[in-house]
Structure 1
């Protein structure tokens, strides 16, 4: 049995009965019943990116670029959230983002969005295993990251084949611990910046002046362009960090009394964005200069969790042994996240197979309810982590960041396009916005701003592949997600002969909720 927690209650799904369509409805999502699955909403990759990934962004862009990038992409993900809120509270269903795309845009777009989720999880999997190896190099720099990928890869595959019943509850408590750790690190950086560390060195916003608010990146001989490139590198990293935040919005369709509960959930998410993300990057810019030598260590193959800017801030202030403690916690986080990635990826492809959008082989389960073929397929992607054998671990980590950023941002595009199409359908059918049980003041106009920003991030996510010379490896990892997404759309249109949904023919009545 898989324990799934949502809305404060417990829901159990037994996939051993999946041949029975009535039982299959329990997980009838097209991707996964994210409305009931808190595992989707814990967003491990973004938490890890805030702790580990901000070091590279601070080094490349400087404190001002980092803050502006997080502000910009925080606005975009918030718009995605409220768009989901308006759609889900009014026309709830269990098929998440792919369902909205199928209903309001084209079933082919829904198919591509469903597979996008699978790809995102299987790419995050080697990313988290790579991060685990990087962290362990803090204590054992003599052992290649690939060795740790094998060790932890075997362990988490075995766990997923056993299908432990306490999986959901354990992840819930682990996520609570993660939030507390992040809050602690932010508080430590703030105290350090105000001179509360053992060295009593008060930096305040001094590092915004020396070495400066904006760091040059890639083209130091052209300062203005280099600083812009530094800002854009920070935007790409911020996008990766925010990926997964929008999953909270999937639960809006299952929320009782959406007029009251959806605004509350949106406000809580906005508060987390402000406190954790914006608060985190502000205190980092105060406590660590972008030219700190330890930040540059992250660019080498010997990078470790000690290169986290939070740890660097504490070390610079004279706080001893924090690196060991934080690294130990981060290791638990990364292994836990990788374990969840296999679980979520396998259930994603299982649900796709159930909807006949994947080979039926992946719909099979054993008598314990474990989708063995789906777990095996998802586990195969662990081998991508072995690129560490020939490339530096930080380089490989960057590859995965690029891949996940594109797949995740394409899902934002699906949400925003679906919302805009829904608005056109409402206008064509004479339905006023005042009938929606939840409305946000930023919509609908903000959707038309957030969409082109997201598309720009997707198109220019791989700009570093062209500067100063063309690099094939970075180009492929930065852009392969786009043709995969488009080919999935065209393949399903040709195979199923789907058509775009016309505004006047759009189904705006099924499951409609006006209160």
Structure 2
């Protein structure tokens, strides 16, 4: 497959509005909802879980509007990494780019393993590695063809998850109010919200601790910005996608959590592998476990698919800035950065291997970086937007000339940054996650130091800074 220099050829704008919308949904609706929701209810209680998701949803909205403004000012592939480089500084762009790339690469590696394990339910005699290898080939092929092929596949992956969540909300809502009978249990109505322990059985401490898990569940919504450089009519499709993504994700997550909390007692919720399966079993849905196993499998493949795309484009963007080897800027005739894709896949497989042979050393290091990568990226997005708007006004620009403007500036970006710092505070507060926080921060400091020793004050390539404000 032949390639051409990235500086001579650009990524193709072949994503439509529906692709952009489903890409963000696909990167967000995953195991954080299907598996971790039981933990959230068990720790925070029924009321606390809903509040945690509402607060995380607010933070997601703040991030999305900040990224929306930046993505229309600079609709380039790589998105906030390029924004951070221009509006904060190249050292910050370098650091957030590599942290975010590692974060997604580590996630992709773990998705391959988890997908292979899920296949054991139907094919118990087939080794996990065979299924993992099959999924590696599948997702690599989809990403190596064209952006449109990737986007179309992700559209259907995400669609399966969305349909599953909608059906769950409808069926669960009917069971809560007695329109469907429940096996061996009376109709719950709202008894779990008013029963033993009430709304906050573990106090607000439980809410604070679960906030970390809940915010991680929403991360992935920012990937629409990474795809801005490959989106048709970004000035029209990006604002539309922001509105659709934020409010529909909030509806899906909060409504699903309400149904789960109303049906499953908080004392039982944290003990189950997937509370979604439990609810389907309670209302007598046949083959509930197999249905959810399939849905969770598509969720894993969807996250892996999105992760390969996002991390490949981040590496491509850094290469164009001179922050990674120039070979990663080369595109195939179909407009795919193949070398960046190959290295990203190789790192994902290395992460997968380290989870098996060095789980207490190398993998815990990689996972720690991945755990804070998303929250760091969110804070950097708000910081870059704040700096851009200040520079824009100082240079005589008018807010009404922006194609999409963050409302209530500067409150929105400042509040976003403070909330991200608050999330880091929760990580330090919880002893089980404290080590991951310090490892992640240590890696970021190492990236800053490497940048200054490697590049110093060298002027990096600015050729991809496509700024459009009029």
Q: Indicate if the aligned counterparts of 2:312 and 2:344 stay in contact, CA closer than 8 A.
A: yes
Aligned with residue 315 of structure 1, among 264, 271, 281: 281
Aligned with residue 210 of structure 1, among 173, 195, 198: 195
* Aligned counterpart, 1:488: 447
* Aligned counterpart, 1:229: 205
Q: Indicate if the aligned counterparts of 1:192 and 1:202 stay in contact, CA closer than 8 A.
A: yes
Aligned with residue 185 of structure 1, among 162, 168, 182: 168
RMSD in angstroms over aligned alpha carbons? 3.9
Aligned with residue 383 of structure 2, among 417, 426, 437: 417
State the Cα distance separating 1:36 from its structure 2 match: 11
* Aligned counterpart, 1:21: 7
State the Cα distance separating 1:320 from its structure 2 match: 3.9
Q: Separation in 2 of the partners of 1:115 and 1:72?
A: 28
CA distance 1:329–1:161, change in 2 (3 Å):
closer
Q: Separation in 2 of the partners of 1:350 and 1:441?
A: 31
- Select the structure with the greater relative contact order (CA < 8 A; seq sep ≥ 6): 2
Runs of 5+ in structure 2 lacking a partner?
460-464
1:372-391 matches, cutoff 5 A: 372-386=342-356
* Aligned counterpart, 1:155: 134
CA distance 1:264–1:37, change in 2 (3 Å):
closer
Q: Separation in 1 of the partners of 2:449 and 2:12?
A: 27
Q: Indicate if the aligned counterparts of 1:73 and 1:235 stay in contact, CA closer than 8 A.
A: yes
Q: Separation in 2 of the partners of 1:207 and 1:156?
A: 40
1:342-421 matches, cutoff 5 A: 342=308, 344-346=310-312, 348-359=314-325, 370-371=338-339, 372-386=342-356, 403-421=369-387
Aligned with residue 441 of structure 1, among 407, 428, 431: 407
1:45-444 matches, cutoff 5 A: 46-132=29-115, 135=118, 148=128, 150-159=129-138, 163=144, 166-199=149-182, 201-214=186-199, 226-249=202-225, 256=233, 258=235, 262-292=238-268, 295-297=270-272, 307-338=273-304, 340-342=306-308, 344-346=310-312, 348-359=314-325, 370-371=338-339, 372-386=342-356, 403-444=369-410
State the Cα distance separating 1:110 from its structure 2 match: 1.1
Q: Indicate if the aligned counterparts of 2:94 and 2:323 stay in contact, CA closer than 8 A.
A: yes
CA distance 1:123–1:375, change in 2 (3 Å):
closer
* TM-score normalised over the length of structure 2: 0.82
Q: Deviations over 1:139-158 (max 9, x none)?
A: 78x999xx52x233322333
Q: Separation in 1 of the partners of 2:257 and 2:360?
A: 32
Query: Which secondary structure does the structure 2 equivalent of 1:183 belong to?
Result: helix
Q: Indicate if the aligned counterparts of 1:461 and 1:478 stay in contact, CA closer than 8 A.
A: yes
Q: Separation in 2 of the partners of 1:352 and 1:129?
A: 26
Q: Deviations over 1:343-364 (max 9, x none)?
A: 5545543553454322456667
CA distance 1:381–1:86, change in 2 (3 Å):
same
Q: Separation in 1 of the partners of 2:380 and 2:157?
A: 30
Q: Indicate if the aligned counterparts of 2:41 and 2:261 stay in contact, CA closer than 8 A.
A: yes
More displaced 10-residue stretch of structure 1: 422-431 or 69-78: 422-431
Query: Which secondary structure does the structure 1 equivalent of 2:35 belong to?
Result: helix
* Aligned counterpart, 1:221: none
Query: Which secondary structure does the structure 2 equivalent of 1:156 belong to?
Result: helix
Query: Which secondary structure does the structure 2 equivalent of 1:446 belong to?
Result: helix
Q: Indicate if the aligned counterparts of 2:53 and 2:253 stay in contact, CA closer than 8 A.
A: yes
Query: Which secondary structure does the structure 1 equivalent of 2:222 belong to?
Result: helix
The total of aligned residue pairs comes to 453
Q: Indicate if the aligned counterparts of 1:35 and 1:251 stay in contact, CA closer than 8 A.
A: no
Q: Does 1:512 align with 2:458?
A: no
State the Cα distance separating 1:71 from its structure 2 match: 1.0
Q: Deviations over 1:436-460 (max 9, x none)?
A: 2323434331211111111221243
State the Cα distance separating 1:240 from its structure 2 match: 1.0
Q: Separation in 1 of the partners of 2:86 and 2:117?
A: 43
Q: Indicate if the aligned counterparts of 2:67 and 2:381 stay in contact, CA closer than 8 A.
A: yes
Aligned with residue 418 of structure 2, among 444, 448, 452: 452
Runs of 5+ in structure 1 lacking a partner?
1-14, 217-225, 298-306, 468-473, 501-508
More displaced 10-residue stretch of structure 1: 309-318 or 345-354: 345-354
